[in-house]
Amino acid sequence: MPKPIMGAIMQEPTTTDELIAAHGLKPDEYQRILDLLEREPSYTELGIFSAMWNEHCSYKSSKKWLRTLPTTGPQVICGPGENAGVVDIGDGQAVVFKMESHNHPSYIEPHQGAATGVGGILRDVFTMGARPIAAMDSLSFGRPEHPRTAHLVKGVVEGIGAYGNAFGVPNVGGEVRFHRAYDGNCLVNAFAAGLADADRIFYSAASGVGMPVVYLGAKTGRDGVGGATMASAEFDESIEDKRPTVQAGDPFTEKCLLEACLELMQTDAVISIQDMGAAGLTCSAVEMGDKGGLGIKLTLDHVPQRETAMTAYEMMLSESQERMLMVLRPEKEAEARAIFEKWDLDFAVIGETIAEDRFLILHGNEVMADLPLSKLSSSAPEYDRPWVATPAAAALTELPEIAPIAALKALIGAPSYAHKGWVWEQYDTQVGADTIREPGLGAGVVRVHGTGKALAFTSDVTPRYVKANPVEGGKQAVAEAWRNLVAAGATPLAATDNLNFGNPEKPEIMGQFVGAIQGIGEACRALDFPIVSGNVSLYNETDGQAILPTPTIGGVGLIAQSSDLIAGLPRQGDVALVIGATHGHLGQSALAAEAFGIETGDAPPVDLEAERAHGTFLLGHRAHVGAAADLSDGGLALAAFEMAEAAGIGVTLEAADIPTLFGEDQARYLIAAPAAEAETLLEAARAAGIPAALVGRFEGDRVTLGTDSAPLTELSRLYRSAFAAAIHGELPDHA
C-alpha cells in the first residue's frame, strides 16, 4: 500500500464536497478513491483521479457498449486502445487513422479550440510512426441566425486552416451542418490519417525497469488545466469562466516535433511513446505504465516549464500542446537528445519506469502523489447506465405542395447543403502534391506517394435519422460512409467513429447511444468494415438541451491502382443511371427539414444486404462508370444537381414527383456514363438481379426536373453564395 503523503498537504486546499464536485467526481466515486487509498488523497492526487476518471478519458459510460463493436479483420494491424487504428494496405504499408472531438473547447474559444483539435489528432497519428497525409473535419453548428453561430463558424474554420496549413497536411473532406440543436454546443470532429511501414508501428506500452521516461517537445504552461474534466460536463451560463481550460497551439512546433519523432524512430531508441493530449502528463504516463504492467516515477522539477512557480497539480494536469512522453533505451539517450535539440525542442529525462505498481510524483523534494498506478486506469468507474429505447417515430405528416425547382432551391439555398467552397478554400488541399480529389464532391482521395495506390477518406452521419431511429440512423451513418468510398472506386477498409451525444445520465440519451451503437455494429459486421479507433464525446448539452445524437463515421478505403479510381465528372450527353431501388422515402428528409421545417417520420430503412450487393456491383463494373455519387440527403435531385454543377453542364431528370426526386432511400448510387456504357451496366445489373434504371441525361445548360426547369447559371449562383450569405461571411484575409 502506498505510504501516506506528508509535508505538501499542509499547503494544499482542504478537500470539501465543493472541491470534489469541481473535479467532476460524484460522492460515490470519491468514496471509491478513499477505499482504494485507505486515506484522503492529496490535492494533486485528487486532480490525477479527476483527470483519469472523467468521461473523456475513462469512457465510463460507454465502455460496456463499445466492446460490442467489431474491431478486427484480416486487414487490421491495430484496433482500438492505442493512439490510432492501423490497417494494412499491402506492399508492407499501413494507414494509421483516427477521429476525435474538440467540441467543448471550440465553443468556448473557436480558433484555438479547433486548432488544437487538429494538432491533437495529428499527434495521435505520428505517435504511431506514421507521416500524416490527410485531414478531414466534421463540423456541426447552430442556426445561422443564432448570435454566436457566425463567430463560431469563422473561428473554427480559421483555426482548422491556420493549424493544418502551417503544419502541412492537406484537408481533403468532411461535412458542415447547421441545426438549432447545436446552438449552444457546436461539434468539431477532427480526422487525420498517415502512412507508415507495417512493421514499424510504435505503441504506448512501456517495458523494462529503470528505463528513462523522457519529456519531449514544447514547454509546459498553465493552459488547458482541467480541460478533460471540462469536456466531460454540460455547459451553463458560466461558460465564459471555462476559457482558461482551452489550450493554445503552435503548428510550427508541431511540425518540428513530427520530424524529430520520425527521425528518432529510425534509431531503435524508442521503447514506447505516447502523446500528451487530454489530461496531459497524467494520462500519458499512466497509460504507458498500465499497458506495460509497470510503475512510473516522475520528478517534476525536471519538466520544462514556460511559466514560473508551477505546482505539481498544474504540471500534471496541464494540456499544453505539442508534447510527447517516451520511454527510451538508456544507451540511446545522447543520440535522442541530439536529434531533439537539432529541432530546437525540449528533451528532458523526467522519470523512470519502476517495478512496483506505483505512480510516484516528486516535486521540490516532496512526494506530491503516490498512487497504485494500475488502479487509476483499471479501477476507473464503469457504469451500466439505465437506458430506454427511443420510441418509434411518429408518422410523417403530409408535406405541403412544392414545385421541383422550388424544392431544389430550398436545399441548395440552405447552408447545410449549399456549396462549401467558403470553408474548404481556406484549407490547403494540395500540400504534399498527392491530392487527387479535393473536397466538394464525395470522398477525398490522396495518392500513396511513389506507388500506384491511393486512399479515399470520408466522414458521414445524418443526425436527424439517429434522433428518429438510433438503430437505423447508426446503420445509415456506416452505410453512407461505405457508399462514399465505393463511389470513388475504393474498396472500404475500416472506420473510425466519433460518438457525440448529450448527457448519458438521462436514460433517453443513453438509449440513443445504445441504439446507435447497435446499428453501427450491425452495419460494420455486414459490410466487413471494422471500427479500429475513435472517440466518445458525451455531455454535449447547454442548459439541459442536448445536441442531436451525432455518431460520426470516418471511413477509409483503398484504391489499389489508378485505373480503379472513379473521380470524373459528367460529360455532355452522358446518361444518368441509378443503381438501387427508389421508393420515395421522405421521413426525416432534407427537403422536409429545409423547405418546411418538418422533422417527423422515421429514418429510411437500411438494407445491409442490398448495400453490400450494390456497392460490390459498382466496384466490379467501375470501368464503365464516368462519374458516381451515393444518394443520401436530398436524394436524386440534389446529387444530380451537384454533379452537373461541378461539371458546368445541365441535367434533365425524367421524374416529376417529389418523392422520386427528393426521397432518401438508401443503397443507391447515381452514375453518369456514355449511353453505350450505361447499356452495358444495365444489362449486367439485370443479370445480377441488381435494381438499376435510366433516370435522365446530363446535357444543355438548364436543370430540368420533370416539366419544371431553371437555368444552371441561376441555380449555381444561389448554390455558391448561400453559405457565405447565411453566416455573413466575407473571407478572412489569410484565405
Query: Which residues lie closer than 8 Å to 577 by C-beta, 6 or more apart?
Result: 670, 671, 672, 673, 678, 681, 682, 692, 693, 694, 695
Distance between CA atoms of residues 123 and 260, nearest Å: 12
The distance in angstroms from the start CA to the end CA of the chain is 58
Cβ burial, residue 332 (10 Å; 0-12/13-18/19+): middle
Packing angle between helix 43-53 and helix 27-37, nearest 10 degrees?
120
Tell me the pTM: 0.94
pLDDT along the chain (735 residues), means of 10: 42 84 91 93 93 86 96 97 96 97 91 93 96 97 95 96 95 96 95 97 94 94 65 51 61 94 94 86 92 95 93 91 93 96 96 96 94 86 95 93 98 97 94 90 94 97 98 98 98 98 97 98 98 95 94 98 93 98 98 97 98 98 96 98 98 98 98 97 98 98 98 98 89 42
Query: Looking at this protein, which amino acid is placed at residue 692?
Result: A
Query: Which residues lie closer than 8 Å to 216 by C-beta, 6 or more apart?
Result: 257, 260, 261, 323, 324, 325, 326, 340, 345, 346, 347
Q: Are 423 and 415 in contact (CB under 8 A)?
A: no
Give yes or no: 102 in active site: yes
Cell numbers at residue 480, please?
453512407
Query: Which residues lie closer than 8 Å to 621 by C-beta, 6 or more apart?
Result: 680, 681, 684
Give yes or no: 146 in active site: no
* Catalytic annotation, pick one of 56, 104, 419, 614: 56
3-state secondary structure of 505: coil
3-state secondary structure of 615: helix
Tell me, what's the pLDDT at 225?
A: 76
Packing angle between helix 251-265 and helix 149-167, nearest 10 degrees?
40
Distance between CA atoms of residues 221 and 398, nearest Å: 58
Distance between CA atoms of residues 509 and 426, nearest Å: 35
Tell me, what's the pLDDT at 730?
A: 61
